[in-house]
Chain A
Amino acid sequence: MFVLKPQSGIPIYRQLVEQITRLIAGGQLAAGTELPSVRELAELHTVNPMTISKAYALLESEGLLERQRGKPMRVAARRRNQAPLTQRLQQLEPAIRDVVLAARQLEVGKKELVALLGDTWEKNDG
């Protein structure tokens, strides 16, 4: 479900936070879905369980996940406090930056890139 790269410059907990956030936003993780337990995920990816806990705790504080007593974390039914737009935009920034870098290397201009963005948006609607 998740792709975690311990060798990346991005801390593992952040990778997980970003991926879960994107999956929730994209609808792949519907409200009420149970996430793997900390221990399961840690064992699967061979990473320190503390990292997973940290990610889950962060997501819980943002209102994306909710804790159930005695059971693993669950996607929150309703976003009680949706993050402000600036914060959500900030989450997109890494992906956008990668696209811009790639475009520059391919010598694609800004206008063409924006056009491509628009087209992709239309195609992926719904």
Chain B
Amino acid sequence: MAEPIMTARDVTKLFGSKTALDAVSADVFPGDIIGVLGKNGAGKTTLLETLLGFSTPNRGSVTVFGEDALAMSAQTKARIGFLPQLDELFAMLNGKQHLAIVSAFHSNWDRALIERLVAEWSVPLTRRIDSLSVGERQKLAVLSALGHRPDLLVLDEPVASLDPIARRQFLQQLFAIAEDEDRAVLFSSHIVSDLERAANKVWIVKDGRLYWQGYLDALKESVVRLHIRARSALPRDIAVPNALVTRVDGNTAIATVARWQPSEAAALAQRFDGSLDVESLGLEDIFLELHR
């Protein structure tokens, strides 16, 4: 297995008495496209920004490309592309001038790529930034993060303001990056359908903890909804192993379970003296069930 691009070990961040991040440990490997999912206020932005060294964790450490995130060398910082949630564009400049400033910091700025994307995404470059719509500003901000072909791309809600066409175009660009197996993308988004298309791994952040991290496929295969139909009335406090949520209604029960093993199906059906149907859940349903 390749060396991880980014490693977080036991990262804890407190704001006064509030625990924003609670002992978060995770790795980002080259070739990963990781989707970060979480409720508003769960700590996604805090996590992403702390991983990049914008904030000093109270405990734990973060390593990026082998260096401490709080003291990265110029070469390391040049390999990172970051898109913050709140845009930090220059209101009084136009897009062309803004990109000129951003590109001045990178020796490997890919002008051809940016020119192509500007045309494809219809990003207006000649109007003042504060006269652009929110979506146009976001597209410009994305371009600013991509232009130097970073090996690690960290995006905080990159498509929140984009229309479906723009989102598709953005995803296509993400896939182009993913084709290069040395690069990784870490992005947070509320738009679950985008995550299902793009991400191969998922981090679910809940109350500052990394509630779940791993392959998206494994997550979908692991969290399922069981429909139990028994011959006689089921007890109210039915004990389904690994159940997250259970609802009993007479002869039937619906239980959402994690860590599901298909081999358990027969045994369970026998135990409850009935039939068992396994319903697989989409990511949005999984997310909802995990938050009940």
Is the beta-carbon distance between A7 and B193 smaller than 8 angstroms? yes
Interface check B11, CB cutoff 8 A: no
Is the beta-carbon distance between A48 and B198 smaller than 8 angstroms? yes
Interface residue SS majority, chain B? helix
Interface string of A54-68 (1 = CB under 8 A from B): 100000000000000
A residues neighboring B (CB under 8 Å): 6-14, 39, 42-43, 46-51, 54, 97, 101
- Contact A97-B277, Cβ < 8 Å, known A8-B282, A11-B217, A11-B221: yes
Interface pairs (22), CB distance under 8 Å = A6-B197, A7-B192, A7-B282, A8-B280, A9-B280, A9-B281, A11-B216, A11-B217, A12-B196, A12-B217, A13-B217, A42-B175, A43-B175, A46-B197, A47-B197, A47-B198, A48-B33, A48-B197, A48-B200, A49-B175, A49-B178, A50-B178
Question: Which of these, A7, A42, A97, contacts B283 with CB under 8 Å?
Answer: A7
Minimum CB–CB distance from B169 to chain A (whole Å) comes to 10
Is the beta-carbon distance between B175 and A10 smaller than 8 angstroms? no
Is the beta-carbon distance between B198 and A101 smaller than 8 angstroms? no
A39 and chain B: residue at smallest CB distance: B179
Which chain A residues border B197 with CB–CB below 8 Å?
Answer: 6, 46-48
- Contact A6-B193, Cβ < 8 Å, known A11-B216, A49-B178, A51-B200: yes
Which chain B residues border A54 with CB–CB below 8 Å?
Answer: 217
Interface string of B209-252 (1 = CB under 8 A from A): 00000001100110010000000000000000000000000000
Interface check B199, CB cutoff 8 A: yes
B residues neighboring A (CB under 8 Å): 31, 33, 168, 171-172, 175, 178-179, 192-193, 196-200, 216-217, 220-221, 224, 277, 279-285
Which chain A residues border B280 with CB–CB below 8 Å?
Answer: 8-10
Which chain B residues border A47 with CB–CB below 8 Å?
Answer: 197-198
What would 7 more interface pairs be, CB under 8 Å, given A48-B175, A48-B199? Answer: A7-B284, A11-B221, A39-B179, A42-B175, A46-B171, A49-B175, A54-B217
Is the beta-carbon distance between B279 and A9 smaller than 8 angstroms? yes
Minimum CB–CB distance from B164 to chain A (whole Å) comes to 10
Q: In the complex the two chains form, what is the Cα distance from A6 to B199 in whole Å?
A: 11
Which chain A residues border B192 with CB–CB below 8 Å?
Answer: 7
Minimum CB–CB distance from A124 to chain B (whole Å) comes to 26
Is the beta-carbon distance between B175 and A9 smaller than 8 angstroms? no
Q: In the complex the two chains form, what is the Cα distance from A101 to B275 in whole Å?
A: 11
Minimum CB–CB distance from A96 to chain B (whole Å) comes to 12
Is the beta-carbon distance between A9 and B285 smaller than 8 angstroms? yes
Q: In the complex the two chains form, what is the Cα distance from A97 to B224 in whole Å?
A: 15
Is the beta-carbon distance between B285 and A46 smaller than 8 angstroms? no
Minimum CB–CB distance from B83 to chain A (whole Å) comes to 19
A38 and chain B: residue at smallest CB distance: B179
Is the beta-carbon distance between B172 and A46 smaller than 8 angstroms? yes
Which chain B residues border A9 with CB–CB below 8 Å?
Answer: 220, 224, 279-282, 285
B227 and chain A: residue at smallest CB distance: A101
Minimum CB–CB distance from B4 to chain A (whole Å) comes to 17
Q: In the complex the two chains form, what is the Cα distance from A11 to B217 in whole Å?
A: 5
Closest 3 CB pairs of A and B: A9-B280, A11-B217, A6-B196
Is the beta-carbon distance between B168 and A50 smaller than 8 angstroms? no
A7, A9, A12, A46, most chain B CB atoms within 10 A: A9
Minimum CB–CB distance from A18 to chain B (whole Å) comes to 13
Is the beta-carbon distance between B220 and A11 smaller than 8 angstroms? yes
A45 and chain B: residue at smallest CB distance: B197
Q: In the complex the two chains form, what is the Cα distance from A6 to B31 in whole Å?
A: 20
